[in-house]
Structure 1
């Protein structure tokens, strides 16, 4: 079994005017590092990269790299809508000291397999550092298939891993089976928290899941349970995470729900988001509060931190 990991796709803290809340972002990084996660993914989907100006992205890259200062791994989402902008931002992040960049393919148009491979060929060949592919078909309206991935791996030695944000674990399993006989060190993460154990048992490396913004200590304990072969504890935490997954059902998109939950847990940010996201109503807030209470009770009753 491979070494399991759980990384956090970190939320981005803003102030009321839409500027970066630098201190709140530092506090979040510290909270996650204390919680024991295996790395931070900044400017991913949960980090609202799609609504940020280039100058803000660069400001946040400088902030996270300097503040984390090698205490854990830092990966930066650098996808832009053009090849040139993606290359520029990726190399900026690498030069700033990021451990790698994560790139989702251009969204809006459904691209052919040939177009997806062509896009990544242009981008990856010009990036001076490690690259992680990011597949999110629900947002890009096309699939970065296992076959495309294998083709890319055969051409680009700086591709190190892949995040598969899909609802069907069978897609991730096929990816593992397709590439890892030839590229045994290729890292494959699931994008939904609940698939962590399934991913690892199938030969993957773990998960990059948004709920770890809320309870990083639970997810690091889950990783430890796998490493110590404590399947009873892993199963207990699976049930706790299954309860956490109910938070995804409260609102679409999920980011305002996650930020509200972090505020309720007093993690140290305000709930300001992309201005296109509507504020949660009282009923949604009460639902979040109730689920958090149930999660806290499950954690306390099962004594997972003994």
Structure 2
């Protein structure tokens, strides 16, 4: 797979009146964005990622692929508070052929050290266990309270080239 290039657009998650994710409107929006020659960042901050259940994210991702959205243009946010859910969603995205995954740091405990963050990312990478996995670190301390340091990035790149 090639690396992403150009614009990677955050994608809003539309909801129905009863607050369920609206898959049809999401597909329509993603098709329009793709027609503008951008790639898609689903399940990020703008996508209400932390308001969605794991099952909802998996279902929406499946719906996008089934609707013909090329996974090579998708970078779903897969970082969750739960390591198990992070691994499940990341594994699913990789198996679908998504070009990369956008991963939040474990953010509930905001005093995590670089060693703790490294162990969390390493555990995810090891559990997913697929060389096709491409992680893009989502460094958004305003919302997570966690800073991703350059030293951590260098350490991850050295261990997982």
**Does TM-score exceed 0.5, indicating one fold?**
yes
Report whether the alignment pairs 1:136 with 2:137.
no
Distance 1:83 1:4 in 2: 29
Structure 1 residue 71 displacement after superposition: 8.0
Report whether the alignment pairs 1:148 with 2:149.
no
Answer yes or no: is the 8 Å Cα contact 2:104–2:138 preserved in 1.
yes
Please state which structure has a larger fraction of its residues in helix.
Answer: 1
Q: Structure 1 runs of 4+ off > 4 angstroms?
A: none
Structure 1 residue 72 displacement after superposition: 5.7
Q: Which residue of 2 aligns with 1:215?
A: none
CA 1:145–1:71 in 2, change beyond 3 Å: closer, same or farther?
closer
CA 1:90–1:8 in 2, change beyond 3 Å: closer, same or farther?
same
Report whether the alignment pairs 1:36 with 2:37.
yes
Distance 1:120 1:109 in 2: 15
- After superposition, where does 1:244-283 map in structure 2 within 5 Å? none
Structure 1 residue 65 displacement after superposition: 2.2
Q: Which residue of 2 aligns with 1:52?
A: 52
Distance 2:22 2:5 in 1: 32
Distance 2:119 2:99 in 1: 25
CA 1:48–1:71 in 2, change beyond 3 Å: closer, same or farther?
closer
Answer yes or no: is the 8 Å Cα contact 1:33–1:72 preserved in 2.
no
| Aligned residue pairs, count | 154
Distance 2:123 2:32 in 1: 37
Greater CA radius of gyration, 1 or 2? 1
Q: Which residue of 2 aligns with 1:208?
A: none
Report whether the alignment pairs 1:61 with 2:61.
yes
Structure 1 residue 154 displacement after superposition: 0.4
Answer yes or no: is the 8 Å Cα contact 1:100–1:131 preserved in 2.
yes
Answer yes or no: is the 8 Å Cα contact 1:10–1:43 preserved in 2.
yes
- After superposition, where does 1:181-192 map in structure 2 within 5 Å? none
RMSD over aligned CA atoms reads 1.8
Cα offsets for 1:122-173 (capped at 9, x unmatched): 112222222211111111212111111000100013xxxxxxxxxxxxxxxx
Q: Which residue of 2 aligns with 1:125?
A: 126
Answer yes or no: is the 8 Å Cα contact 1:9–1:44 preserved in 2.
yes
